[in-house]
Structure 1
């Protein structure tokens, strides 16, 4: 599932996975590394997502003695929760259609 805003993917599976990685690793750079993605690409995706929202999904602290980091806001947590819930419900409700699509995929 993707949400398109002004011709841009405001929210989709990649951004949700990146949010989960930020939650797990505590920084955009570590999240990017865990996904084999450049820091710049990850930062641009998070910036794009945050600009599309009424309130940001992540907050970042600048480096210092402790090195800074990023974390999900309550909005970011809610995005992950809602998105994964929609995925699970869709997989259940659409199981016959998904099975039919899988049969069309070359093995």
Structure 2
């Protein structure tokens, strides 16, 4: 078995996760799909859960990361705002820096890890 290092970056506002891996994946899916429902389907997530995550993100920031348009003649949809796209970029940069910062420590831990054996 190969040991791996998995790190997760989360940004909290009080007890609410403002940004984390799942919310960033949802933002990317909304940007790709143009709606919260299509993004949720693409991720195998319920619309209600996706909507709650978007609402959490939007409440945590001064400017919404996702804006929605009601249905109607031209259909509804959602789009990631400029601020949302900026947060995608900033978050990815944070992830890269955390991985880089942890690499030395992990290199020191890895030799001490037990090999996995099948029973």
The normalised TM-score by structure 2 is 0.79
- Name which structure has the greater RCO, CA cutoff 8 Å, separation 6+: 2
Partners of 2:97 and 2:114 in 1: CA distance: 23
Structure 1: unaligned runs, 5 residues or longer: none
Runs of 4+ in 1 over 4 A off after TM superposition: 103-107
Unpaired stretches in structure 2, ≥5 consecutive residues: 1-8
The separation in 2 between residues aligned to 1:14 and 1:38, in whole angstroms, is 13
Count of residues paired in the alignment: 106
Structure (1 or 2) with the larger CA radius of gyration: 2
Considering only aligned residues, what root-mean-square deviation do their CA atoms show, in Å? 2.0
- Aligned to 2:99, which of 78, 91, 99? 91
Q: Deviations over 1:32-83 (max 9, x none)?
A: 0111100000001001110111000011111112221101111100110000
Task: Determine which structure has the larger helix proportion and give its number.
Answer: 1
Match of 1:76 among 84, 92, 95: 84
